[in-house]
Structure 1
Amino acid sequence: MQHSSLFEAVTLGSRVLKNRIVMPALTRQRSGQPDDIPTPQMATYYRQRAGAGFIVTEGTQIEPRGKGYAWTPGIYSQAQIEGWSKVTDAVHAEGGVIFAQLWHVGRVSHTQLQPGHAAPLAPSAIQALNAKSFIETSPGAGRLVEPSMPRELTVTEIKELVELYAQAARNALNAGFDGVEIHSANGYLVNQFISTHANQRTDEYGGSLHNRLRLLREVVEAVSAVTGPDRVGVRFTPLFTSTNEDRVYIGFVEQDPHQTYIEAIKVLEQAGIAYLSIAEADWANAPDLPETFRREARRTFSGRIIYAGLYDAARAARMVEAGYADFIAFGRPFIANPDLPQRIANGWPLNKVDPATLYGGGEQGFTDYPVYSRAELTANEEALS
């Protein structure tokens, strides 16, 4: 078996997972319209990939104001819960485990996506630069746009948002999910509160790092009270340097990213949640995370740690064997290879991603990527004999 360390059984909370390969959150923009409802085709897509140790769904908005991109699914209505139930049933029928990623984009939105065309929500009234939202221009068609100027949330509204996260977690359990991941990365709402770039508040949610981490603490505590901490994960994107200014918004390059995110990880450790997911920079010539950060993250957090980025199987196995990671998430490889764990285990070649079908559309580039066929296997065995 290729890279056997990736195929060791490992616990996550109370569950024993069959491998260390994770399918992370991957935005595909194929929910049913007009109400952002998960579809039977989405159930097929996730079922096909149930060979992962566990799956994290695409970002799923916790309320209508949390939407920053057309056609992304929600988890706040009964119809959406019922749609997700079909997804979780399909994954469980294949012996898979699936978590819902709870998402609120905050200021990375546009008035056209907001109820009543209102301004997006944010910790401070600062427009998101070097970021894009996506709006529908006609059925099945859309375009990228600059996010609108947001408005600053009141303290009362922040408390209400914490409860919306808790309600989304309840909805996820009702839909049959095995757990939830709180999206605290990529410049979205929780990340905005952490970052000095987006948060210039002077109340208890701004200023000091302790205060900027308050929303994270409150959301993690509220969600954990619903699901139990052993069914909760949190995702961060800690960037240490930026080689591409257009990418700054994705994780924000803080003045002291090491301190910022180690303190954030301490919040998760205190809450006792199941896992920490760290999304690394994933573009060409992207800076690597410093090894000093990886070491301190491991020392600070006693739960499971997932890394995602430009990993191939060999690099993934090295991270596990070095003790830095418990799981490795493979993004685009899972899009194009529904049988990715089997391909890694057997050293089979990978399908290539079709960039033109990543976002929106139908089954093309979604549920039609082939598994490695017996005919291909036989042909390869004959070629090697």
Structure 2
Amino acid sequence: MSPIYIPRRQFIRGAIATAAFGATSQLWAGCSEQTPTANTGTGTATGTTGAPAAATLNIGFIYVGPKDDFGYSQAHFEGETAISKLPGVKTYSEASVAETAVVQETMLGMINQNAVTALFPTSFGYFDPHILKLAPENPKVQFFHCGGLYTEGKTPKNIGSYYGYIDEAQYVAGVVAGLSTKSGKLGFVAAKPIPQVVRNINSYTLGARSVNPKATVQVIFTGDWSVPVKEAEAANSMIDQGVDVLTCHVDSPKVVMETAEKRKIFCTGYHTNQASLAPNGYLTGAEWDWINVYTKYVELLKSGKTLMDGGIPHILRGGLKEGFCKVSPFGSAVSAAAKKEAETVMAKFKDGSMIIYAGEMKDNTGKVVIAKGKEFKQTDPDLEKMDWFVEGVIGSVKG
């Protein structure tokens, strides 16, 4: 953090209490990378310090990492950039905001300084307690969180949850990995054992084992979303043990992809396309398509619909079929057979005939977790509570 950061936060708190917003605007305009960056569309949006025109939709985005991290934050920023070019839309964003009370200051600043009426705090840890605390205090602002689980009757009405079934793309990447490995050993560098991460690991493993039944996926948790040193250590450790395909679920896959390329093994990416980081070993990857999702939200918001009146769904989900995610282009190392198999599976996801979680299915301790004849479709809320690893995963959900 820069030295000006804490004083600016303190100043914002005082400004909110005294309604001295004009002075704060000038302070923000002169700040470093912690300052919300405004993107103006082609419509009637005004400057940061002026009152927004009535037709302008002001939207705030908050990222836990840098906007150019080759990963989670960059994927969301690409979506923000696209909608900022739409008529009558102005976006404000702040990067590298910790999952602490600091994000509350950032949200309040955007609400009171920039007059945002919709907020997209994108990181998992922003939800509880931060969004849950501020939403009731700002009932006219709509909070859209990526991944948080909305509970009818408990979660404030002005909170929405959106997320993609990116594990579909991870399943496809697993198919390619399973047909590309020579050792049968795949590696997965993961941040935290939360349900979304566990689900990605399981789907990747099931994809690999659907074409290579003896394939295994070793998992190492780093403990946080961005720990480059631990990510490199985990990657190198698994490669030393014979893993010849690496993937990950961390904020920025950059270190894992570059380590795989340096060690001359294959890799599959996550969040965005990392082919440029591993031109020889990049097979494919699971990418978000937030441009599509955020454009849909803008259409709903500009039409006057809200979460509060039920015009905007409180839970918005989708996969490959709905355009929430996509599979990265196949790299030069992918065989024709692997490409054909992956495309067949993608087609099944898009026509709705592909079910990842169907019984009988056992976890990696031998316990039956899905009974024979039982199946869970992607929309089943039980999958968003996943706390077990499928057979073939080497590791524990407890880390």
TM-score for both structures, normalised by structure 1: 0.29
